[in-house]
């Protein structure tokens, strides 16, 4: 008798619960937005390093700390945003890290070996990267092989070429550099790409111009992804490529354009690092491709495609920048930053899984 009574009561409260779910749904959906999750994570990491800051004047919360981690975050973020967008479209690019180094070497080659003006070299470097991206995209789209494999191949080709090419061109040295000040256009190129601003007594070295490029890339990425037709196609290409094709979305073209955009962003990072240092090392950037992917995942981009955020990826890059610098400020052995990133990645993947389940839960 009691059992049947309980059985009869269950549907009542369950229904009321469903009604309430619909209302709470909106609030939680806001909380479940990819950017917001990443932002809360970033605040948590910031506070953690604020608490563990072991520097004499607690510089972490001062301009010094801010400039330090943004310097790291900017060059990660310029890549994390397009890499995240590519992930939303359902593709990976593992050649991004090494390409940031190779493009720096390419710029050196144009300037030192071909005696090009710096600005012409910059145009040439972007063009070189565009070709690499086009090859990546074309092979992925035409062969329908997983982009993971295709870009892994590109990664090894570029890595080998960067070592072999530099050794051959530079008489056995692994580092290439511009010596002297006779390179035309280099001064103005450095002002735009590789210098700093807002230098003050408190912050003698100022902030990197790369920070501005980071903001520009993030704004463009967020705009394209959320507000343009192309952005709609990116979500659809990764969410369900077949359905997208059936309603007239040019999936292949969308993916190829993203591969090109990602490679050209790598060129931007290469140009920034080369104008900063006037030098480049072979194998520079190798391994960074994983940081870009971690940043994108922390920012809420699904590894399976179809969902994600450019602003989230940018925040993810900030988390990585803070992790690298914060470990130094906390006085820990710098080897631990990898462990730290691994734990963050685990947490991010957990949050993303929750978001996915919520987005896919059928409301009947």
Site residues, other proteins (CB under 8 A): 22, 26, 29, 223, 227-229, 231-233, 235-236, 239-240, 242-249, 306-307, 356, 359-364
Nearer to other proteins, 274 or 302 (CB): 302
In angstroms, rounded to a whole number, what is the distance separating the alpha carbons of residues 317 and 322? 9
Neighbours of 81 (CB within 10 A): 34
DSSP type of residue 144: -
Shortest Å, Cβ 23 to other proteins: 11
Shortest Å, Cβ 305 to other proteins: 9
Nearer to other proteins, 102 or 236 (CB): 236
Shortest Å, Cβ 317 to other proteins: 23
In angstroms, rounded to a whole number, what is the distance separating the alpha carbons of residues 125 and 219? 23
Shortest Å, Cβ 355 to other proteins: 10
Shortest Å, Cβ 257 to other proteins: 15
In angstroms, rounded to a whole number, what is the distance separating the alpha carbons of residues 75 and 290? 13
DSSP assignments along 39-97, one per residue: HHHHHHHHHHHHHH--STT-GGGSHHHHHHHHHHHHHHHHHHHHHHHHHHTT---TTHH
Radius of gyration from C-alpha coordinates of the chain? 23
Nearer to other proteins, 18 or 44 (CB): 18
Name the β-bridge partners of 281.
Answer: 175
Nearer to other proteins, 182 or 363 (CB): 363
In angstroms, rounded to a whole number, what is the distance separating the alpha carbons of residues 228 and 234? 10
Shortest Å, Cβ 351 to other proteins: 16
Query: In Å, what is the CA distance from 298 to each residue of 72, 85, 269, 292, 335?
Result: 16, 13, 21, 10, 21
Tokens of 127: 């063009």
Nearer to other proteins, 82 or 97 (CB): 82
Tokens of 156: 């090894």
Nearer to other proteins, 137 or 306 (CB): 306
Closest to 40 measured CA to CA, from 302, 288, 316, 275: 316
Q: Are 351 and 37 in contact (CB under 8 A)?
A: yes
Nearer to other proteins, 66 or 233 (CB): 233
Query: In Å, what is the CA distance from 36 to each residue of 22, 160, 313, 314, 346?
Result: 20, 40, 11, 12, 17
Shortest Å, Cβ 228 to other proteins: 5
Nearer to other proteins, 32 or 203 (CB): 32
Shortest Å, Cβ 364 to other proteins: 5
Nearer to other proteins, 22 or 335 (CB): 22
Shortest Å, Cβ 143 to other proteins: 20
Q: Are 79 and 288 in contact (CB under 8 A)?
A: yes
């Amino acid at each position: 008798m009691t059992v049947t009574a309980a059985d009869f009561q269950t549907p009542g409260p369950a229904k009321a619960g469903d009604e309430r779910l619909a209302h709470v749904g909106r609030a939680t959906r806001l909380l479940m937005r990819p950017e917001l999750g990443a932002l809360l994570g970033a605040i948590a990491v910031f506070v953690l390093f604020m608490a563990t800051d072991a520097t004499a004047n607690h510089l972490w919360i001062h301009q010094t700390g801010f400039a330090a981690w943004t310097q790291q975050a900017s060059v990660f973020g310029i890549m994390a945003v397009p890499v995240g967008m590519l992930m939303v479209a359902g593709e990976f690019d593992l050649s991004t890290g090494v390409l940031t180094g190779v493009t720096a070497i390419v710029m050196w080659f144009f300037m030192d070996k071909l005696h090009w003006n710096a600005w012409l070299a910059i145009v040439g470097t972007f063009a070189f990267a565009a070709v690499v991206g086009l090859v990546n995209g074309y092979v992925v789209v035409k062969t329908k092989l997983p982009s993971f494999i295709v870009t892994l191949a590109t990664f090894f080709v570029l890595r080998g070429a960067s070592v072999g090419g530099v050794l051959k061109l530079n008489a056995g040295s692994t580092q290439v550099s511009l010596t002297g000040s006779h390179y035309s256009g280099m001064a103005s190129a450095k002002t735009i790409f590789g210098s700093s601003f807002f230098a003050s007594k408190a912050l003698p070295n100022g902030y990197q111009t790369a920070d501005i490029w980071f903001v520009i890339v993030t704004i463009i990425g967020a705009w394209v992804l959320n507000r343009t037709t192309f952005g709609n196609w990116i979500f659809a290409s990764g969410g369900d490529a077949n359905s997208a094709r059936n309603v007239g979305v040019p999936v292949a073209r969308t993916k190829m354009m993203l591969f090109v955009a990602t490679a050209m962003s790598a060129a931007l990072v290469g140009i920034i690092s080369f104008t900063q240092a006037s030098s480049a090392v072979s194998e520079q950037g190798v391994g960074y491709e994983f940081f870009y992917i971690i940043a994108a995942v922390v920012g809420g981009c699904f590894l399976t495609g179809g969902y994600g955020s450019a602003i989230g990826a940018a925040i993810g890059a900030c988390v990585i920048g803070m992790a690298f610098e914060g470990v130094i400020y906390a006085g820990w052995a710098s080897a631990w930053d990898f462990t730290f990133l691994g734990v963050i990645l685990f947490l991010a993947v957990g949050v993303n899984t929750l978001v996915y389940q919520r987005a896919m839960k059928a409301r009947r």
